[in-house]
Structure 1
Amino acid sequence: MIIGIHMSDKQELQNEINNASTRFSSVIDAAFDGIITMDDKQRIQLFNHASENIFGYSANEIIGKSITKLMQKKFRSSHSNYIKQFADSDIQSRDMLSRVMIMAVKKDKSEFPVEITISKISINGKIEFTAIIRDISNRIAFIEKLQHQVNTDNLTGLYNRNYFDTQIKDIYHQYKRFGHSFCVLMLDLDKFKVVNDTYGHLIGDKVLQEFAKKAQEVLREVDLLVRFGGEEFIALLPNTQLEAAKDVANRIRNCISQQMVLSQNHEPVTFTVSIGVAEIATDDDTESIVKRADEGLYRAKKSGRNRVSD
């Protein structure tokens, strides 16, 4: 028996195949995410329009090249092993709920964060891999901006109390684990209300900004200066013992006593600071060391201001 396909049926089947291919190509090129297909030798076979925009390569430049061109150098040598493990596993894909964030590399060598999902398919006995890639640079930048706003004092540019609370917990855990001592400075501008009442809040703001700037110049990069509230500031000094912390506090006090800002009438406005110092003790927690520094500040104020006390 001879079975044949009528020419019109054959033409109709070919048209359906062509339409499906066109539809597939249109979807791939219109996709918001990058879509990259590679063979089992890590050679890129498909590179859609979104991938061109994301990575800066044209499809003609990158097709046939190794996928490792798009990843950080430190991961390139081990990528073939990862591909083999994935090929040999029963897992068909990492779905969108288990997206992995990695750093990818553009044509200009700049690195940027992406989310990636990977699937595999067998075609004529050979495995191909398809990666769907989403550039999340803007999302990460937005999150970092929000975190900065949450943790930063707008007036002085210093970190705020919220950030201090997280950092003192971290440094306290290090102390408990490794025994690294640390100190807390509680700083308060003397008679700040008089400055505000005499010259106005705009000048008071300038005093706060000048204080923050000059105090930071005295401190080390590893130290943390925070606006605690109003005219009160607090500093964390890692790997520091009491006498060294008192020396730092006195250098801040001396530096501040030499500063001034100009009033709206160009009058010099001077200011001083009182500082309480406390070193972590075995029976301390994060609250008690701050309380002891605050008690030292109270003693400094009571003894005449522009003083340092532990």
Structure 2
Amino acid sequence: MSKLSWPHSLVFKALVLVVVIGLIVVFTQHRLYEKDRELGQVVIQRNLALMQLMAENHVEELVRDAEFIANSPVLKNYLRSMSPYALAPAQEAFWVLSTLRPQYDQIRYIDRFGIEQIRVNRRNGQSELVTDDLQVKSDRDYVRKGLALKPGETALSPFELNRENGRIEVPYRPALRAIARLGEVGEYYTPGIVVINGNADQLIHRLVTALPATSELILLNEQGGWLAGGGDQDWQFSITPSATFASSHPSLWESIKSSQTGQFELAGECYNYTWHSYREGEVSSPRWLIGQRRVDAPCTTELLDNVQQGGLRFAIAFGLSFPLLLLWHRASARKRELVSNLEARNEELRLIANESGHGLLRVDAQGCVEWMNREAERLLGWKEADLEGQNLHETCHQFEDGESLHKGPCPTLEALQTGQTYRSEHERMLDRSGSIVHLTMSVSTYGEGGERRAIVAISDIGSHIEMEKTLTELATTDSLTGALNRRSLLQQLDVWTTNATNPPCLLMLDIDHFKRVNDTYGHNAGDRVLKAFSSQIMELLRKGDVFARTGGEEFVVAIRNLSLADASALAERIRMAVAGIECQTDNGDIIRITTSIGVAIYQEGESVEQLLARADGALYRAKHGGRDQVRVG
């Protein structure tokens, strides 16, 4: 029997089979490994980018609120006058902001000497105005840093544990502070700083939601101190300065500091990180290291897993009669698994987007909506299924007649065309009903050419508008009676006296023997009398008439379009109406009051102060003529 040729021998066929199976396994497994590695990197970069976005949004709100309260008119009004009457509205403004932002542990105004003047604490879900335990903070680094800022500048302090009266507060209250230096409020007064303590635990909790269950958050400051992910080492740098990652791994830390993003392995676990700092506008901010740690998994996990899988597939393919079919089946199964994982991760991303606190929409290169989260649905009144495929500009930036909300080009379409990021703190869009919604908006693009997409992030600023209205009202009215204050009265009279063809008349009123009411019945009864007195007078006035409180029991009515005789008649009606007021005290006693009134009409060429002086002179004569009467000046 002739020998079989080598190509037809069993050994040769076995070697060929081994080579073919080996090539197929290596080829397919390498592709799977590259996909796994690529997908893993996409997920890691997505996690890091999402955490940066969450941190940016958290800090942006903190900075915006610090600048907002630092520029509030009630705070500046208090700093100009330093009077108790101006302090109360400023304290109330701080308290209102605290109730609107439960994530802020403290909101304070600290003067140029480092002394707390206004302070609101957030404890156990309640906002508390502190008046008796105000502290000297001049020795704290963040105070010195804040007072060194130029007027109008803003800065962020490093993460640190809150200290009260020189001691770290227990249980720990980690804080991230926004510090806003006030602008000049007076010729001889150097203003201090507004400090808001943001709850760092809430930021850390939000960052954790961006990570899968197999990973843990790591957060360190620029000095290598553990803020999160260090176990027992978290925040210990505030107590023991050497308890840091930088001290335990100095050479590794130097390498980490020199790279904006990177990866390293420590104790058999893989770390991925990026450095982040808030650099919006002129706000100075420290750097933080944000990253994730894969629990009990080294950085070579994907490679080792794929090598093991390749060996297993090779063994199975070689041992079975139909190795190519089996390889195809396992490759297909693996492909379906990858697609399933990708869909699950996309669903996870959608879930995180729905919980992000901002309205998010994705639009294609033509500005048509591809998806939106629940917050965007709430803000705009549209369901995702209804708005999907609709042009965002034509739907939410144009009225039914085609008129655009924007004087210039649509910011979303312009960002898609240029690839530049667009941000606005005061943007407007139309909701489904056609009503205008006031928003902050940012448009961030990605991709190129016809594949370019954009993420539109929107956030409601209605609460800020309401807060501004409240602060304006506090700055112009008397909080007890609802009447205008003296400053607002003088401003109105300045306007009226410029038009001498329609001169104003003044009625200056004083409650007779009001001191006797306070001395006899107490200040609570006095406040009731003031309210009843003001309410009675305002019922007799016309729309456009001005009613102001200029002192304790002194009031002024300013009117136009009345002659002096008509104004005197109005004063007489007011006098008789006041005589009919009956106020009941807590003890059931009835208080009756009368009023003396001085009337004066503006004379051409005289100043507002001269007009007030003539009305005051007439009031003086009414009081000294027996009270409960009207005199004309």
Pairing of 1:19-30 with structure 2 (within 5 A): 20=42, 23=46, 26=349, 28-30=353-355
Pairing of 1:254-293 with structure 2 (within 5 A): 254-263=576-585, 266-293=588-615
Unaligned runs of 5+ in 2: 1-26, 51-345
Is residue 358 of structure 2 the alignment partner of residue 33 of structure 1? yes
Greater RCO (Cα-Cα under 8 Å, separation 6 or more): 1
C-alpha deviation, 1:130, in angstroms: 4.5
Higher alpha-carbon deviation: 166-175 or 82-91 = 82-91
Find the counterpart in structure 1 of residue 426 from structure 2. Answer: 100
Higher alpha-carbon deviation: 108-117 or 208-217 = 108-117
C-alpha separation between the residues in 2 aligned to 1:80 and 1:268? 61
Pairing of 1:65-144 with structure 2 (within 5 A): 65-67=390-392, 69-70=395-396, 73=399, 77-79=403-405, 82-83=408-409, 87=414, 92-95=420-423, 98-102=424-428, 104=429, 106=431, 112-118=437-443, 123-125=448-450, 130-144=455-469
**TM-score in terms of structure 2 length:** 0.41
C-alpha deviation, 1:183, in angstroms: 2.9
Amino acid at match of 1:278: A
Identity, in percent, stands at 27
C-alpha separation between the residues in 2 aligned to 1:272 and 1:110? 50
Find the counterpart in structure 1 of residue 526 from structure 2. Answer: 204
Find the counterpart in structure 2 of residue 159 from structure 1. Answer: 483
Is residue 386 of structure 2 the alignment partner of residue 61 of structure 1? yes
- Is the contact between residue 397 and residue 404 of structure 2 (CA under 8 Å) also seen in structure 1? no
C-alpha deviation, 1:116, in angstroms: 2.5
- SS of 1:225's equivalent? strand
**TM-score in terms of structure 1 length:** 0.75
- Is the contact between residue 183 and residue 245 of structure 1 (CA under 8 Å) also seen in structure 2? yes
Amino acid at match of 1:186: M
- SS of 1:64's equivalent? coil
Amino acid at match of 1:165: R
Higher alpha-carbon deviation: 23-32 or 269-278 = 23-32
C-alpha deviation, 1:7, in angstroms: 4.8
Find the counterpart in structure 2 of residue 3 from structure 1. Answer: none
Find the counterpart in structure 1 of residue 372 from structure 2. Answer: 47
Structure 1 residues 177 and 135: alpha-carbon distance in aligned structure 2, compared to 1, 3 A threshold: farther
- Is the contact between residue 578 and residue 593 of structure 2 (CA under 8 Å) also seen in structure 1? yes
Amino acid at match of 1:113: H
C-alpha deviation, 1:211, in angstroms: 0.8
Superposed CA RMSD in Å reads 3.9
Amino acid at match of 1:100: H
- SS of 2:422's equivalent? coil
Pairing of 1:202-241 with structure 2 (within 5 A): 202-241=524-563
Amino acid at match of 1:131: V
Higher alpha-carbon deviation: 204-213 or 174-183 = 174-183
Unaligned runs of 5+ in 1: 1-5
- Is the contact between residue 426 and residue 438 of structure 2 (CA under 8 Å) also seen in structure 1? no
Amino acid at match of 1:87: E
- Is the contact between residue 92 and residue 119 of structure 1 (CA under 8 Å) also seen in structure 2? yes
C-alpha separation between the residues in 1 aligned to 2:418 and 2:500? 44
- Is the contact between residue 579 and residue 593 of structure 2 (CA under 8 Å) also seen in structure 1? yes
- Is the contact between residue 169 and residue 286 of structure 1 (CA under 8 Å) also seen in structure 2? no
C-alpha deviation, 1:190, in angstroms: 1.1
- Is the contact between residue 547 and residue 556 of structure 2 (CA under 8 Å) also seen in structure 1? yes
- Is the contact between residue 493 and residue 608 of structure 2 (CA under 8 Å) also seen in structure 1? no
Find the counterpart in structure 1 of residue 512 from structure 2. Answer: 190
C-alpha separation between the residues in 2 aligned to 1:123 and 1:177? 62
C-alpha separation between the residues in 2 aligned to 1:101 and 1:124? 27
